[in-house]
Chains A and B, each alone.
Chain A
Amino acid sequence: MSTASTGAGAVKQQVPSGARPDLRDDAAKAGRSDRAKAEARLGWLLAGPAFVVMLAVTLYPILQAFYDSLFHFRLTAPDDRRWAGLSNYAVVLSDPIFWQALGVTVFITVVTVVIELVLGFALALVMHRAITQLRGLLRTAILVPYGIITVVSAFAWFYAFAIDSGYINHWFDWVPGISADLNWFAQQGTSLFVIILSEIWKTTPFISLLLLAGLSQVPTELEEAAEVDGATWWQRLTRVVLPNMKAAIMVAVLFRALDAFRIFDNVFIMTNGANGTEVLSLLAYRTSIGRLEIGLGSAISVLLFLCVILICWIAVKLFKVDLAGGARGAS
């Protein structure tokens, strides 16, 4: 939920800073006034404790994981702890299991984000344009899947598709390829299909709400002007609406991509990594928690963290997602 609130906030901050660049430039040129300095100091005082707590609960474990990854260390053999240098990383990076898990993770991330973006945008449009009176109720209703604990929704989807207790095979046996004998969780393709479907069902509402926030910030005058000029619906969407909410779209994609890359619950519950469905988080979990190999598991976790950083870097540098721009402009 914290990402949702952060995301919505970031979207709101994007638009004013984009719409009034002159204000930001003037403030920067003029230097900071006493009042601005006092406000900045107050800001630090207010945010400081939270910042320190955040460092303690995020930075410390990250550094600890990196340190642990430099040792051969098994939890049930505490006396055998010995220096490994970067050899844990060499083992991980030279193992096809890691690359396969990375491939599956990237595949799930790309597919879910693309589908969720399209579906989420359609839902946002419906909420924004078609049903204005029921918008509040709809926003709440649409959030229901997102509010369900992932493990619970994973079990629900698992049981729906299970060969012994599921109903999907019976309901859809008229579809070619689906019959009572189809074991969805026995092959890679069908297993990934259910996992991805469950992810999409659960997190599309998140994307649609982020996009709805972006949509509502697009000035209606621009659209009206385009309409007067004779632009078609499609032209207004692609030339006016989408360019004006690019920041909101990129924030939605970034947050959802980071979320999807860390997928764990659905895979853990549905296949536990069987049939080539292992993802990076599950591999890290099985190594650190299952095998109790703290050194090797930490190395995988650090690599997972670096992948997440890489996604952030690509989004911020290549796609120019300016997460802090609005906040700076306001101060």
Chain B
Amino acid sequence: MRRRTRALALVVGAAVAAPLAACAGSGSGTPVLTWYINPDDGGQAEIAKQCTESAEGQYVIETSLLPRDASAQREQLARRLAAKDPSIDLMSLDPPFIPEMAEPGFLAPVPEDVASRVSENVVAGALAGATWGDELVTVPFWANTQLLWYRKSVAEAAGLDPAAAPVTWDQIITAAQDQDKLLGVQGTKAESLTVWINALVASAGGTIIENPEAPADEITLGLESPAGEAAATIMGTIGESGGVGGPGLPTEDEGASLSIFQGDRGSFMVNWPFVWSATKAGVEDGTFEQSLLDDIGWALYPQVTEDQQTAPPYGGINLGVGAFSEHVDLAYEAAECIVTPEHQAQYFATNGNPPSNTEAYDDPAVSEAFPMADVIRESLEIAVPRPQTPYYNEVSSGLQQTWHPPSAVTPEVTPTESTDLITAVLRGEQLL
């Protein structure tokens, strides 16, 4: 009985002492860096662990999870930074939101030596996405791009070989129509719709914003142009009732596109590379036949016209250092560790997020996991970021409001309507 009491006392004592000891540890020595990460398959947490180990007691990186949705991540970070939250040492930032964070000084300036080291061998699209006002304001981490994924059987029946020569939107629309198939595109009223609009406009040689660095009330849009009209024509054609977009188009996101593509009516799809690892995993667990995986081909994003090179979407994550962090120097040291080509290759192979550093593509693990790694790299070199402006949210939401549902998009009305709305909103004359 006495022994049991003593054991109980020991347990209680340990329970009380352990948290105190932990407090003493963190308070007395090693600085703890908090890295706000977007949800993934555990890749960022693993890199944080590895960098903590290689720092040999200089710092400890702890991860803190942001919401799943990109715009919700932005909301949380912007609100915390506006309140001068010192707990944000490092943050995983979606590129379109970087100007909004950089403009009011929410990001600690990147030291020159760090900037030159982390820019080495980085693909052009990723470098452009990490820059604001001609200065590197974040550290490029991983870079994403959309490819054209196609069912080889459908392309063959249409006499197309997208891997050999670029294909146009008109060609894939006709091919899908002729074979009563559906195209996989993202028509839901969300950020993915902006991604599609931007890629269409840029592929037609235009830009959504002509002067992205101008103040809100001086911003001019480039949608009322042949490029804007071409983009609206393509989207309207796909959205037509009974058309190749299918009835699910107004609510179709990336996951829904993949489901359609994997189904019997799948034909062509524009989507991020996660679709490959997801389908492969589906084959491994028996959900899909191996023949589905064998039937999938990939190529560069479709062109709007035959003579104009495509401008694929650019996405990914860059690392920002909080301006109110108490350990800015250490945070940049940690950021350099996180983005080494080895870590980027490891992250691509395990989590499916492509590296921004070209060196990482030479890693054998990368080509084994993603046979299309070379096409991804090529796509990243010509990818065009979404409008880089501190008012990106207004621009993106305004586009979503006027270009949704795709069935209502027309070249005569939509570009003008969206220009009027976004301009009025930026001038503070209208709600969004």
Contact = CB atoms under 8 A, between A and B. Distances in A.
A113 interface: no
B405 interface: yes
A290 B397 contact: yes
A240 interface: no
A186 B75 contact: no
Contact of A287 (B188, B248, B251, B431): B431
Nearest to A297: B431
Interface string A271-283: 1111100000001
Interface string A178-195: 000111011000000000
B428 A77 contact: no
A258 interface: no
Contact of B430 (A78, A79, A91, A273): A91
Contacts of A79: 104
B79 A75 contact: yes
Interface string A184-213: 011000000000000000000000000000
B250 A76 contact: no
Q: How large is the interface on A (under 10, 10 to 19, 20 to 34, 35 or more residues)?
A: 20 to 34
A183 B247 contact: yes
Nearest to B99: A76
A183 B121 CA distance: 46
Contacts of B82: 75-76, 78, 292
B263 to A, nearest CB: 10
B189 interface: yes
Contacts, number: 83
Contact of B405 (A164, A275, A296): A275
Interface string B244-277: 0001101100001001100000000000000000
Given A274-B404, A291-B393, A163 B247 contact: yes
B394 A76 contact: no
Interface residues of B, number: 31
Nearest to B103: A76
A126 to B, nearest CB: 38
A186 B251 contact: yes
A97 interface: yes
Contact of B428 (A72, A164, A300): A72
Contacts of A75: 78-79, 82
B390 interface: yes
Given A95-B430, A97-B431, A290 B251 contact: no
A163 B248 contact: yes
B431 A91 contact: yes
Interface of B: 71, 75, 78-79, 82, 100-101, 103-104, 106, 188-190, 247-248, 250-251, 256, 259-260, 390, 393-394, 397, 404-405, 428-432
9 shortest interchain CB distances as A-B pairs = A186-B250, A274-B189, A181-B247, A75-B82, A163-B248, A97-B431, A95-B431, A183-B247, A185-B251
